[in-house]
Amino acid sequence: MERNNQDLKRGLLPRHVQFIALAGMIGTGIFKGSSDTLNIAGPSVVLTYLIGGLLLFIVMAALGEMAIAFPNNNVQLLLNRAFGFQISFITGWLYWINWMLVITVELLAAGSFLQFWFPAIPLWLLSLLCAIVIIGINLFPVKYYGEMEFWFAGIKILALVVFIALGILILFGIFPSNISDPISNYTDHGGFFPHGLSGMLSAFLVVMFSYGGAELIGVAVTETKDAEKVMPSIVKGAIWRVIIFYVFPILIICGIMPWNQVTGTDSPFVQVFSIAGLPGAAHVMNFVLLTAVLSAANSGIYATSRTLFSMAKSGVAPRGLMQTSKNGIPVKGLMITTIFILAGVFLAYISPGKIISYLMTIPGFTIMLVWIGICASHLKLRPQYTKKPSFQVKWFPITTIIAILALSMIFIGFLLNPSNIIGTTVSLVTLAILIVSSFIVKTRLK
């Protein structure tokens, strides 16, 4: 049943929001996408993850500061406040498209992990079953979603910590394995920069896809209790999360196995345990990876339904999308999200082999534009604060300007890279359609 009052419920606790931010970051990008980044850059991809992590920290800090200065404003509403209707329209729909692609990738990855145990069942069918489960979770009140996400994220965080600890024991010979000289894997097979500096830079596309989702705190803040107290601690811990959950695992993978033996068929994390002579652990790790990508898809469905709600609230989406269920769930936004998820599963039916790799390149473009928009909003809105927030970005405006320039350079690099031709074409066509649509909708509203 729907209700007339069009509000979301503040049912998320501080621990929920902290883990939602983690959940968005830890998914296919690290568990499945790391095979792509290692093939592109070799061990030097560690530097790509570090640089991307620093940019992420600046973006999250700017977002956290604005969320405190303007309570109850998520990413899309902040952009609307800073630049008006058209920019808000473009970035809002771009962000929604980004998350639709991410959800599709996560669910297809979940299906591929299930194929580790059920190789005879087609990818599209396994992905469809995963989609049904995740959509069902999002039909419950937000506090239950938050609780489910808390445990989903907890499992994958624990798994990464165990993976790091076990990997270190294997690398230093404390844990018995069939690996004789792990250090040589960093220097042999073309060295630390097997594809040069250009290889390291080319990996930014998938790396940024991996980090996309951390800005979910800017979506969840509108349903969070004590947001002003929660935001600073989440932002300050961002850089450590990058080092612990991305840099350390990649270093361990590169030490235990040669980077050029990463197949891309199975997750490098599963391959590591198999190569190290721990086949039983590979099954456990595959289960954890399945949980991880389902968690990221769960966060994505939350993000898309709430983004549609906020866009309807600011007038850049049909007003009917503001209607919620008696539990405060934006059910119409959830229905639209479900339709597009089914379209993504259909793509897996058409092209099961390459679909994940193709789709994973596109969100890298969209997340770049959204992050640039967040930083630009920070520059524009800082002078408009009515009171000084308890948390502020250090060395403003230099820090924010550096982030905008760096993100813009990476984005231009994406466009000029011939290997990204499919992602570039799809992204530019989508952007052009949204720009034209923003003029049409604005004209009709006058």
Architecture of the structural domain at 2-445: Up-down Bundle (1.20)
Which pLDDT belongs to residue 2? 40
Tell me how crowded residue 43 is: count the other CB atoms within 10 A of its CB.
24
Please give the single-letter amino acid code of residue 343: A
Q: In the chain, how long is the greatest CA-to-CA distance?
A: 71
Contact 230, 71 (CB under 8 A): no
Task: For residue 188, report the phi and psi dihedrals to the nearest 5 degrees.
Answer: -85, -175
Partnered with residue 224 across adjacent β-strands are: 12
Give the total residue count for the chain: 446
DSSP, res 267: -
Please give the single-letter amino acid code of residue 398: I
Q: What is the pLDDT along the chain (446 residues), one digit of tens a residue?
A: 344 444 444 445 555 566 665 655 666 667 666 777 787 777 888 888 888 888 888 888 888 788 778 877 777 778 888 888 888 888 888 878 877 877 888 888 888 888 888 888 888 888 889 888 888 877 777 667 777 777 777 787 787 888 888 888 888 777 766 666 667 777 777 777 877 777 777 777 777 767 766 666 655 555 555 656 666 666 666 667 767 778 888 888 888 877 777 766 667 777 777 766 666 777 887 888 788 778 778 777 877 777 787 778 777 777 777 777 776 677 787 888 888 888 877 776 776 556 656 666 677 778 888 889 889 999 998 888 887 777 788 888 899 999 999 999 888 877 877 777 777 888 888 889 988 988 888 777 65
Which pLDDT belongs to residue 403? 92
3-state secondary structure at position 12: strand
Nearest to 11 by CA among 264, 174, 223, 158: 223
Q: Could you give the CA distance from residue 142 to residue 170 in angstroms, rounded to a whole number?
A: 41
DSSP, res 203: T
Q: What is the sign, positive or negative, of the torsion defined by CA atoms of 19, 222, 293, 102?
A: negative
- Tell me the pTM: 0.76
State the first-to-last Cα distance of the chain, in angstroms, to the nearest integer. 33
Q: Could you give the CA distance from residue 265 to residue 246 in angstroms, rounded to a whole number?
A: 20
Tell me how crowded residue 84 is: count the other CB atoms within 10 A of its CB.
11
Which pLDDT belongs to residue 239? 65
Which pLDDT belongs to residue 259? 77
Place of tokens 């080092």: 243
Query: What radius of gyration, in Å, describes the C-alpha atoms of the chain?
Result: 21
